[in-house]
């Protein structure tokens, strides 16, 4: 660990802790949404989709866009500020790759489908196979939420590791 100053460790620890806390906040919101909101709207569409009905329906798009943007900026800063800490950097890169792939999956599958469900709630046009699609969306979301929780769990040992380096 040549050329690693206390200031360097402090900046790395700060951004790693911020990233970890933001990931836990995302997981908390995701677990709440997965356990409370999603079972409601996927239970019996199209009727259960009324919770999306405008102008007062639930729309979490802005919330998730802002939270993910802030988290991903912090994650990248954590990687940058931990770059000289090879083990921490490598694990962060693996976790970020898994996170990134999960985000791609979200943007390619989950987001377009939930937008379509919201549009169906605000339309009078009948749609076939809606219950099967909603149930599949809910089941795949359990997998996505599990992956996110695993990423959070992977961040914890990194925080412990960098804090232990700071104490030496």
* Nearest 10 degrees: Cα torsion 71, 33, 28, 62: 30
pLDDT of residue 148: 98
For residue 94, being part of any structural domain is answered with yes
pLDDT of residue 167: 77
Q: Please give the tally of structural domains in the chain.
A: 1
Query: At 83, is the secondary structure helix, strand, or coil?
Result: coil
pLDDT at 58 over 70: yes
**H or E element, residue 141:** helix 130-167
Output the pTM of the full model: 0.92
For residue 103, being part of any structural domain is answered with yes
CA distance 75 to 96: 7
For residue 81, being part of any structural domain is answered with yes
For residue 1, being part of any structural domain is answered with no
Q: For the chain, what is the mean pLDDT?
A: 94
pLDDT tier for residue 123 given thresholds of 50, 70 and 90: confident
pLDDT of residue 2: 66
For residue 13, being part of any structural domain is answered with yes
Domain extent at residue 13:
6-167
pLDDT of residue 1: 55
For residue 147, being part of any structural domain is answered with yes
Q: Give the tens place of pLDDT for each residue, 61-111.
A: 999 999 999 999 999 999 999 999 999 999 999 999 999 999 999 999 999
């Amino acid at each position: 660990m040549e050329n690693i100053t206390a200031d360097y460790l402090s900046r790395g620890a700060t951004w790693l802790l911020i990233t970890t806390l933001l990931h836990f906040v995302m997981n908390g919101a995701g677990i709440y949404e997965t356990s409370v909101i999603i079972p409601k709207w996927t239970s019996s569409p199209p009727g259960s989709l009324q919770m999306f009905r405008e102008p007062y329906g639930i729309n979490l798009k802005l919330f998730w866009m802002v939270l993910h943007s802030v988290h991903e900026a912090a994650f990248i800063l954590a990687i940058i500020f931990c770059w000289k800490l090879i083990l921490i950097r490598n694990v962060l890169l693996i976790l970020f790759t898994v996170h990134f792939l999960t985000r791609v999956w979200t943007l390619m599958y989950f987001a377009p489908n939930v937008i379509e469900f919201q549009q169906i709630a605000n339309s009078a046009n009948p749609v076939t196979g809606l219950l099967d699609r909603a149930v599949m969306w809910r089941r795949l979301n359990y997998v996505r939420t599990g992956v996110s929780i695993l990423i959070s769990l992977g961040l914890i040992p990194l925080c412990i590791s960098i804090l232990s380096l700071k104490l030496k």
